Amino acid sequence: AQKVTQAQTEISVVEKEDVTLDCVYETRDTTYYLFWYKQPPSGELVFLIRRNSFDEQNEISGRYSWNFQKSTSSFNFTITASQVVDSAVYFCALLRRGQNFVFGPGTRLSVLP
Amino acid sequence: DTGVSQDPRHKITKRGQNVTFRCDPISEHNRLYWYRQTLGQGPEFLTYFQNEAQLEKSRLLSDRFSAERPKGSFSTLEIQRTEQGDSAMYLCASSLGREYTGELFFGEGSRLTVL
């Protein structure tokens, strides 16, 4: 079975703080893909990143960075110097070849001014 | 705006009524998905089309639910004899490509409230 766990239901930080959102996944497949999506109050899920299971290189995109560790089945997401506009629900998702996306329950991030 | 569009954005109905949602995917995308999202949860897969063919349906999709994509473009999701448990956000997404690895582009969703 495949499963995505986001243990943090809600996180509140003050603007300019760094924050890490945790994601732990379960799958027996050797080929799979991991995603992060952002859902702002408007409701539309916005794609942030995709990693395949063979690429453990960490990635940085502006204030966003992702840490993929197969040894711990984790794909954590860090926002550096958070801003109020980062307030949203963030979903981690797992995709196996030939299967459908499995989303985690989401982490609601509130960035306070 | 050339993104995924959904209509209506919000539907309030009485239990037992039928409702239909429409999704217009990004024009060149061959894959179209329907997901359901309840409060505090991540999206759950309902069904998926490749062009006009419905290739997979979740067990969540009871007999009261039907989806179509008649010409491989827009899609409709109909719920018959609605129940209060059907209240949720219904999300449509589309993607491009033969491989099932592409990112999904989501619409803003259609929120259903069943009274």
At residue B1, does pLDDT exceed 60?
Answer: no
Residue A113, C-beta contacts closer than 8 angstroms, at least 6 positions apart = A14, A15, A84
Going by pLDDT thresholds of 50, 70 and 90, the confidence category of residue B100 is low
Give tens-digit pLDDT for B19-33. 999 999 999 899 999
Which residues in A36-72 are b (16+ Cβ under 10 Å) and which e?
bbbbeeebbbebbbbbebeeeeeeeeeebbbbbeeee
Residues 6+ apart with CB under 8 A from B85: B114
Phi, psi for residue B86 in degrees, rounded to 5: -80, -10
Q: Do A47 and B101 touch (CB under 8 A)?
A: no
Residue A88's pLDDT is what? 97
List of chain A residues whose C-beta atoms are within 8 Å of the C-beta of residue B106: 37, 44-46
Contact B104 A45 (CB under 8 A): yes
Closest among B6, B8, B4, B11 to B27, alpha carbons compared: B4
Q: Which of B29, B37, B89 to mutate to test the interface with A (most CBs of A within 10 A)?
A: B37
pLDDT at res. B42? 93
Q: Does A24 touch chain B (CB under 8 A)?
A: no
Q: Is B100 part of the contact surface with chain A (CB cutoff 8 Å)?
A: yes
- Provide the residue-wise pLDDT of chain A in tens; the chain has 113 residues: 789 999 999 999 999 999 999 999 999 988 899 999 999 988 889 999 999 898 888 888 899 999 999 999 999 999 999 999 999 999 999 988 777 889 999 999 999 99
- d(CA A105, nearest CA chain B) in Å: 4
B53-98 tens-digit pLDDT: 998 888 888 899 999 999 889 999 999 999 999 999 999 999 887 6
> pLDDT confidence of B101, banded at 50, 70, 90?
low
Share of chain B above pLDDT 90, in %: 70
pLDDT of residue B59: 85
Question: What amino acid is encoded at A94 in this protein?
Answer: L
CB of A47 within 8 Å of a chain B CB? The answer is yes
pLDDT on residue B98: 63
